[in-house]
Amino acid sequence: MENYSLVKIIGEGSFGRALLVQCKNSEQKCVLKEIQLPLNSKSENTRREAVLLSKMSHANIVAFRESFEDGNLLCIVMEYCSGGDLLQRIQKQQKEQFLVDDILKWFAQMCAGAKHIHDKRVLHRDLKSKNIFLTENGTIKLGDFGSACVLNNSKAFAQTYVGTPYYVAPEIWDNQPYNNKSDVWSLGCVLYELCTLQHPFQASSWKRLILKVCRGSYPPLPRHLPYEVHYLLKHMFKTNPKDRPSLHTILTSHRVSKLLRHHL
């Protein structure tokens, strides 16, 4: 802790806090995320966030600096994304739609970051606009690895995990294991949010929400969007995960790949 001085608190949740800090031996500002370590039970799950983030190295993933423990706090120091999170950015729009070029650029960057995560055999499991950050110059950075797990680790695979309800894929409600295509579904939700400033699946109760998700029925996209976006979302929202494209497919061989790569 003595290497950092507090600038301000930027996020507070059940886990603890996200602090903007100044590094004392450089000019740099960083984010220090404090997470309460469980006192008696297993703290390995908590430490997993730092371990998995530290394995990532990609232009579209928040850069890991270091992690350390201070009493019963786990501290993860990472790159500061001064553009804030994408949810804040969406809420700032009021009713004005984003430019198609911005949507495609952000989405292509999200896919590139998420593909890197999957290539490392890790699942993020909580992709949503609040966990996707923007830098000063508008580059996307995927963050918050607090729900991430290693793929094919039989224990992590078996555990049923439910993230933020709006972004949860149908197979999770059906008690199927979380897989790479469940992250693809969540990114589809973020893409839809960028296109409409609304969640694709919304309802007045959990039961109705889950029903809509499991049917894959969402309000149509505005017509001015390129047909590739309509086509892509239709496929990302296939209710059977096997029918959904992987991130590799989206970026390399899907009908939209050329358009996306053009924006990378």
In the complex, the residues that contact ligand ADP under the rule CB under 6 A are: 10-11, 13, 15, 18, 31, 33, 62, 78-81, 84-85, 130-131, 133, 143-144, 146
Q: Is residue 131 a contact point for Mg ion (CB under 5 A)?
A: yes
Q: Where does residue 159 fall: left (phi above 0), alpha (psi -120 to 50 degrees), or beta otherwise? A: beta
Which residues make beta-bridge pairs with 10? none
Work out the angle between the directed axes of helices 180-196 and 100-119 (0-180°, nearest 10): 170
* Cα distance between residue 173 and residue 191, in whole Å: 21
Whole-angstrom distance, CA of residue 9 vs CA of residue 176: 38
State yes or no: is 85 an active-site residue: no
* Contact map string, positions 87 to 126, toward Mg ion, x by CB under 5 A: ----------------------------------------
Q: How far apart are CA 99 and CA 145, in angstroms?
A: 29
Q: How far is the CB of 132 from Mg ion (least distance, A)?
A: 10
As measured in angstroms, the least distance from the Cβ of 206 to ligand ADP is: 21
Q: Least distance from C-beta 256 to Mg ion, angstroms?
A: 27
The binder of Mg ion chosen from 49, 79, 144, 183 (CB under 5 A): 144
Catalytic residue from among 70, 85, 119, 126 = 126
Question: Coil, helix or strand for 88?
Answer: helix
Q: Is 179 in the site for Mg ion (CB under 5 A)?
A: no
Specify the residue, 8 or 95, whose C-beta has the smaller distance to ligand ADP: 8
Return the number of the residue (29 or 212) whose C-beta is nearest ligand ADP: 29
Distances (CA, A) of 71 to 2, 24, 98, 203: 14, 21, 45, 43
CB of 146 to Mg ion, least distance (A): 7
Of how many residues is the chain composed? Answer: 264
Q: Which does 100 bind (CB under 5 to 8 A by kind): Mg ion, ligand ADP, none?
A: none
Q: Measure CA of the first residue to CA of the last residue in the chain; give whole Å.
A: 37
Closest among 189, 61, 165 to 119, alpha carbons compared? 61
Which residues participate in catalysis according to the annotation?
126
Q: Which residues bind Mg ion (CB under 5 A)?
A: 131, 144
